Amino acid sequence: LTKKSLSVGSSATALAMLSSALSLFRLSVVLTGDSSLRSRKMSSLLSAFRKMGLDVHSTKKDDTPPFIVFGGEAGGGRVSLTAGEVRHLPALAVAAPGTAEDTVFQFPAKDARFFVEPVLDVFGQARMRVESMPGILAFPKQTVSGFTYTVREELSSSAPFIILSLLRGREVCFRPGKISGRDQLFLSLLKKFGLGVSQTTRSIRLCAGRPRGASVDLSQAPELLPIFAVLSCFARGRSEIWGLEEARSSKSDRVYAVFTALRRLGADVVVYQDRMVIRGSTSLRGGEVNGAGDYAVTAALCIAGALAKGEVTVVNGPEALRQAYPSFISVLRHMGVETSYA
């Protein structure tokens, strides 16, 4: 590596992974990104790096990127993570095999499976040693060899299309492989909204119907907040979405972006410090809304537009959507939605 500065665009995941990996090399590198990434406060990530002995710092006082990585021999040892730091386990695991001593992470076990599961999947495919038990993940010091990793498909990545189909009265059937913890969360959320979910060892069947209002915690899945906010607009009664903190500091402030957009389309939505409250209605109206440069917000607003009475135009979002979901618009067209990039 000869470059002293690298850009990761809008990807906080790439920033975290590269910061961890580059900490093992004797070099100094500045990692930066686009304007949206440079405005995201990442105090919990930097705190987790420090606890592990990785020399990674923000170049600003508010813990936003750019980051500067001073690589070398990283510490390892016993690392105690808070509930807010557990989500960084996949990034921390990148450096764990190459630290100066064995690394043992201790953390609150509640909801940790969403972050432990992908680590075990990668290390399993790489045939590397890792020990796992509730609240503990241990990595012996070991040499990393090259390997081929197959990214597993997740049902939840199709959430916008699934929810559109269900709200249009269509049954959805899947024959997935291994069901991830995040997929189980997605299915449990659908059940809470009163939508039928039938699982066998070979298939998953989702039954359409008028959803009912529900109270759900999305603290572990901030990417699902926009689409479940749209679902709540068409549910009978009152819905509450809790766990907003992570969504406020994702690729955009998803809470504010969704709130302002849905209000513009006629939704009855109120945001408090700790929750979003939506009273379901039978329809949304057309209008122009802002996707906040966020693929999850833009995708959800496209689904809202497909269900609204009137034309919906989404600005400041198509490029992010095109990067994250290259075939998103073509899939919507295949589903019978009249839509296009302007």
Kindly report, as residue ranges, where domains of CATH 3.65.10.10 are found in the chain: 5-139, 155-334
Which three-class secondary structure state does DSSP give residue 31? strand
What is the helix, strand, coil percentage profile of the chain, to 5? 40, 20, 40
Percent of the chain with pLDDT over 90: 78
**What is the residue type of 321?**
L
Give the separation between CA 126 and CA 144, rounded to whole angstroms. 9
Question: What's the pLDDT tens digit per position in 9-35?
Answer: 989 999 999 999 999 999 999 999 998
- Looking at residues 281-289, what average pLDDT do you find? 90
For tokens 């991830």, name the residue: 180
**What does the pLDDT average to over 156-180?**
90
Beta bridge partners of 67: 31, 58
Q: What count of other Cβ atoms lies within 10 Å of the Cβ of residue 8?
A: 21
- CB 122 within 8 Å of CB 149: yes
Q: What kind and span of H or E run contains 263?
A: helix 254-264
Show the tokens assigned to 160. Answer: 């916008």
Contact 20, 95 (CB under 8 A): yes
Band of the pLDDT at 256, cuts 50, 70, 90? Answer: very high
* SS3 call for 118: helix
Tens of pLDDT, residue by residue over 91-123, are: 999 999 999 999 999 999 988 988 999 999 999
Query: What percent of the chain clears pLDDT 70, i.e. is strictly above it?
Result: 99
Q: How far apart are CA 190 and CA 221, in angstroms?
A: 14
| Residue of 14, 13, 41, 35 lying closest to 249 (CA atoms) | 41
Residues 6+ apart with CB under 8 A from 255: 225, 244, 247, 248, 271, 276
Is the pLDDT at 6 greater than 80? The verdict is: yes
Q: What is the overall mean pLDDT for the chain?
A: 93
136 neighbors 81 (Cβ within 8 angstroms): no
CATH 3.30.1700.10 fits 155-334, yes or no: no
DSSP 82-106: PTTTGGGHHHHHHHGGGSSS-EEEE
For residue range 32-57, what is the model confidence (pLDDT) as tens digits?
999 889 999 999 999 999 999 999 99
The pLDDT score that the predictor gives to residue 1 is 55
What's at 19, amino acid-wise? S
User: What's the pLDDT score for residue 111?
Assistant: 80
- Average pLDDT on 127-148 reads 93
H-run or E-run covering 318: helix 318-324
CATH 3.65.10.10 fits 5-139, yes or no: yes
The predicted-structure confidence for 72-90, as pLDDT tens digits, reads as follows 878 899 999 999 899 999 9
Beta strands in 284-331 (DSSP E): 285-290, 309-315
